[in-house]
């Protein structure tokens, strides 16, 4: 009898430890959790990812039929939470992480051991790309991350690389108005028409394009690509010398154009200054005559006698300063 009681007590203790005490859990601050019951996630009835405008607007019409995932209950940070033995809790970190864009999760030795990604430009040059991507798990589409695909990070990296290579292969520098250079030569990135130089010159635009093109990764795989930071574009070794020669010639031409522009600007400024000086001189000579004309007009308006008196006073002033006066005598 005592053996049966001991077995019963042992079973109860084992049950409490393995199914009740072990069923208590917490969720860290940078984590989110999803609970499943018999393998089925707790869903929000009647809600899918298409009901979330932030997710739906990033998908093309044909993609909306393929990437429709249910909205599920997300357990926020905190606790203590409890789960039954037939329930399972999936915890996911939503912290932002960084990865080399050349990293291949399935083959770490690929892309020069994950240090450089190769891509072909529009003029058929095989160039190397270096940089990083920042990503994090989307709290708004945890179903796609946990249950949509088996290895979401592998999918999102392949997705990013395919978009990047397509963008590199078709990249064209933004059209800008042609203006004369006003400063010194800025180096090899100023040479247009060469795909590698266009890419180097427009790295920021390329990164912006990648951010826009990868918006649908949230709806597809439940991973948000926060930013792509392409930091280096290296041409093949056999092309480097030719690019250096092109860039050197361009820099020389740019320098000569800048010097000519500066000389022309200086001459224009000097010409404007000379015109201003001559104009002021002319105003200085004309202003007394204009003032005298105004005075004579005013005297004439007053009457003939005033003008005669003015002329007499002028003569008297002249007589007072003259050393010799010659008068015409009448016969």
> Which of residues 214, 235, 256 is at a domain's end?
235
Split at pLDDT 50, 70, 90, the class of 189 is very low
Give the C-alpha separation, 108 to 270, whole Å. 66
Of 227, 217, 228, the C-alpha closest to 54 is 217
Both tokens of 267, joined, read 């001459």
**What percent of the chain has a predicted confidence (pLDDT) above 70?**
82
Of the ranges 87-96, 120-129, 252-261, 312-321, which one carries the lowest mean pLDDT score? 312-321
Indicate if 75 and 115 belong to the same structural domain.
yes
Whether the link from the prior residue into 276 is cis, omega within 30° of 0, is no
Indicate if 312 and 190 belong to the same structural domain.
no
Indicate if 186 and 312 belong to the same structural domain.
no
Residue 275 in this model has a pLDDT that exceeds 50? yes
81-103 average pLDDT score: 90
Residue 314 in this model has a pLDDT that exceeds 70? yes
Domain limits for position 204? 2-235
Q: What is the pLDDT of residue 176?
A: 53
170-183 average pLDDT score: 58
Indicate if 74 and 220 belong to the same structural domain.
yes
Q: Let me know if residue 264 belongs to a domain.
A: yes
221-244 average pLDDT score: 77
Q: What is the pLDDT of residue 191?
A: 42
Q: Let me know if residue 92 belongs to a domain.
A: yes
Structural domain count of the chain: 2
Q: Let me know if residue 27 belongs to a domain.
A: yes
Split at pLDDT 50, 70, 90, the class of 211 is confident
Of 299, 290, 163, the C-alpha closest to 220 is 163
Give the C-alpha separation, 205 to 228, whole Å. 11
Q: What is the mean pLDDT of the chain?
A: 81
The secondary structure of 153-205 as a DSSP string is HHHHHHHHHHHHHHHHHT--PPP-------S----GGG--S-HHHHHHHTHHH
Indicate if 205 and 177 belong to the same structural domain.
yes
Give the C-alpha separation, 177 to 183, whole Å. 16
Of the ranges 8-12, 112-116, 279-283, which one carries the lowest mean pLDDT score? 8-12
């Amino acid at each position: 009898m005592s053996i049966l009681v001991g077995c019963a007590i042992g079973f109860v203790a084992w049950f409490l430890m393995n199914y009740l005490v072990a069923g208590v859990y917490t969720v860290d601050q940078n984590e989110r959790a999803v609970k499943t019951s018999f393998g089925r996630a707790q869903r929000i009835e009647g809600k899918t990812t298409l009901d979330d405008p932030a997710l739906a607007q990033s998908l093309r019409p044909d993609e909306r039929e393929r990437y429709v995932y249910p909205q599920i209950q997300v357990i926020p940070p905190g606790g203590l939470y409890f789960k039954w033995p037939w329930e399972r809790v999936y915890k996911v970190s939503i912290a932002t992480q960084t990865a080399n864009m050349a990293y291949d999760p399935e083959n770490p030795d690929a892309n020069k051991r994950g240090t450089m990604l190769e891509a072909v430009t529009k003029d058929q040059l095989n160039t190397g790309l270096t940089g990083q991507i920042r990503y994090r798990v989307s709290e708004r589409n945890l179903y796609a991350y946990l249950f949509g695909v088996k290895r979401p990070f592998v999918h999102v990296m392949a997705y990013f690389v395919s978009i990047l290579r397509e963008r590199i292969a078709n990249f064209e520098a933004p059209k800008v108005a042609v203006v004369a250079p006003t400063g010194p030569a800025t180096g090899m990135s100023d040479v247009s028409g060469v795909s590698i130089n266009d890419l180097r010159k427009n790295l920021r635009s390329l990164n912006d394009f990648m951010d826009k093109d990868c918006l649908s990764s949230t709806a597809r795989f439940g991973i948000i690509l926060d930013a792509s930071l392409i930091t280096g574009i290296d041409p093949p070794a056999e092309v480097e010398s030719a690019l250096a020669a092109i860039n050197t010639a361009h820099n020389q031409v740019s320098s000569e154009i800048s010097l000519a522009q500066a000389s022309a600007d200086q001459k224009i400024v000097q010409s404007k200054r000379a015109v201003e000086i001559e104009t002021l001189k002319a105003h200085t000579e004309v202003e007394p005559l204009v003032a005298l004309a105004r005075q004579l007009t005013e005297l004439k308006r007053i009457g003939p006698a005033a003008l005669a008196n003015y002329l007499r006073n002028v003569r008297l002033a002249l007589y007072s300063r003259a050393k010799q006066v010659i008068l015409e005598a009448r016969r």
